[in-house]
Amino acid sequence: MSVDRPSVIPPGATIGIIGGGQLGRMTALAAARLGYRCHVFCPEADCPASHVATATVAAYEDREALARFAELVDVVTFEFENIPAESVRVLSQRVTVRPGWRVLETAQDRVVEKSFFNAIGVETAGWRPVADRTDLERAVAELGRPSVLKTARFGYDGKGQVKIDATTSLDEAWAEMKGVPAILESFVGFEREASVIVARGADGTARCFDVVENRHRNHILDQTIAPAPVTPALALRAEEIALRTAEKLELVGLLAVELFVTPDGRLLANEMAPRPHNSGHWTMDACATDQFEQLVRAVCGLPLGSTERHLDAVMTNLIGDDINQWLSILSEPDAHLHLYGKREARTGRKMGHVTRVFSRNDEAGGKN
């Protein structure tokens, strides 16, 4: 049976964070502003979050370490979803976990995730589960080409996926999956990619940040434009999707919902992430409450903060050698630099981000 402690966890308590990356680091910094301590659980020593919080270094499957960790914290959250749901379930027997492990289980498997979206009336691209080569052939026959084959679990930033076009060998495509469960999705000719982040408290109160546009480079998020250049009506529909998803999940915490905007104005849910999200980093410099503080407020049972955007913003990821621009960025008067403390810059590795802010333009999409 899951443990549930008092709904309000006061300042001075310790927040446990599963995962030690930059999202955990920025959550810990936000928690410190509100008087909380943080303790991260991560298998790698010298992870970014360990520079600003106490750390337990152990495998996610180490039950003894998880038990010790649970004794040291007052509530637990997580900073990414590629962790064993079973480990989070085990923790929930000893300490409050927000969001719950069932939310994690839904978000980390694309088949479960797509099924959930469709069950609550949220439209997605066409999709089929793929367990073997025969399933793949049948799915391609039904969905057509082009389409995209993805691993059902543990894919991110373009990893674990293959585009299937007119010339793609299905044998080769399936071989790239290495025998793991997969999903085939119809290729979507979208106008833009958007996302919306919603926070939901233990009392059911929920608030959305403005809808943003996301632009990718080499399958990795390159820039987020806030607000997205969409109509107020479309922005409202995107927020309604995020709010409905969070409510049906019974989420307590933070949820990002990524969406495709089609040329005919439809919104197709692509995926969800029940944690802080790269597309929400702009909130640190352009909103009354940023996404990391909002997560802390939600998991600790505090009133949610205002999501009002007081500036327009463009967030740019610093990937690999982009980090070498740090000195020139610091000379820009309207640029806010955030570095993650990673020692080695590698191709495709997120080393930091910069948010450039501008006077608010109320004619753009999003809230007014």
Beta strand pairing call for 312-319 and 220-226: antiparallel
Could you tell me where the DSSP H helices lie in 250-339? 283-286, 291-299, 326-330
Distant-in-sequence, close-in-space partners of 134: CB < 8 Å, separation ≥ 6: none
Asked if 112 and 106 touch (Cβ cutoff 8 Å), the reply is yes
Are the C-beta atoms of residues 305 and 289 closer than 8 Å to each other? yes
187 is annotated as contributing to ligand binding: yes
150 is in an annotated binding site: yes
- Which has the closest alpha carbon to 267: 205, 336, 340, 192? 192
Question: DSSP characters for 21-70?
Answer: SHHHHHHHHHHHHTT-EEEEEESSTT-GGGGTSEEEE--TT-HHHHHHHH
What is the SS3 assignment for 78-142?
ECCCCCCHHHHHHHHCCCCECCCHHHHHHHCEHHHHHHHHHHCCCCECCEEEECCHHHHHHHHHH
Q: Which amino acid is at 366?
A: G
Residue 327 CB: number of other CB atoms within 10 A?
Answer: 8
Any known ligand binding at 281? no
> Does the annotation place 240 within a ligand binding site?
no
Please indicate if the annotation marks 270 as binding a ligand: yes
The continuous run of DSSP H or E covering 171 comes out as: helix 170-176
Is 158 among the annotated ligand-binding positions? yes
Is 265 annotated in some ligand binding site?
no
121 is in an annotated binding site: no
| Among candidate residues 154, 114, 139, the one with its CA nearest the CA of residue 268 | 114
How many CA atoms are closer than 13 Å to the CA of 5, on its beta-carbon side?
19
186 is in an annotated binding site: yes
The annotation status of 86 as a binding-site residue, yes or no, is no
User: Got the DSSP string for 173-184?
Assistant: HHHHTTT--EEE
Q: Which neighbouring-strand residues pair with 109? A: 153
Residue 367 marked as a ligand binder: no
From the annotation, which residues make up the binding site?
110, 150, 155-161, 185-188, 193, 216, 270-271
Binding-site residues for ATP = 110, 150, 155-161, 185-188, 193, 216, 270-271
